[in-house]
Amino acid sequence: MDFMTALDIGSSGLKAQRAYLNVISMNMANAKTTRTVEGGPYRRKSVSFESSPVLSPFDAAMQDQKNRDLKGVAVRGVVTDDRPFRMQFEPNHPDANDQGYVAYPDINVVEEMTNMMSTMRSYEANVQSIQAVKRMFTKALTIGAN
């Protein structure tokens, strides 16, 4: 694997984790949203990842045994969660039903914070891998200059 391929793999991880952080923050911001444009309460969202090749079509034709199985990560899409809504008795709320219950999204803030911390750690790991590649590249230039 060369330096550029290592950077491509790390950057694909950064992009994927950034997208997941955006979805997590959207979930937390809408934890109490009872009315959306689509109608009804906000639905929790999650991100679906898939492995993706980091090689260009030309690289794929020229690949060898060493870099044959190199994959990055890509966001397949944002998935809407189908958890049932959390019903809370609030008869004075404008979105209350006939029985006085309001449907809230089933968003657990502790779960979202745990996902956020895990995603941040993954993002930091990708940053560290990119920095390690940059240090190796710089060291190789230094060795080559001597």
> What pLDDT band is residue 124 in, cutting at 50, 70 and 90?
very high
Dist. CA 70–CA 105, nearest whole Å: 39
> Where in the chain are the domains?
3-31+42-81+107-145
Taking only the tens place, the pLDDT of each residue in 105-122 is 999 999 999 999 999 999
The verdict on pTM exceeding 0.85 is no
Label residue 141 left, alpha or beta by phi (over 0 means left) and psi (-120 to 50 means alpha). alpha
Three-state DSSP state, 41: coil
Whats the size of the chain, residue-wise?
Answer: 146
Share of the chain above pLDDT 90, in %: 65
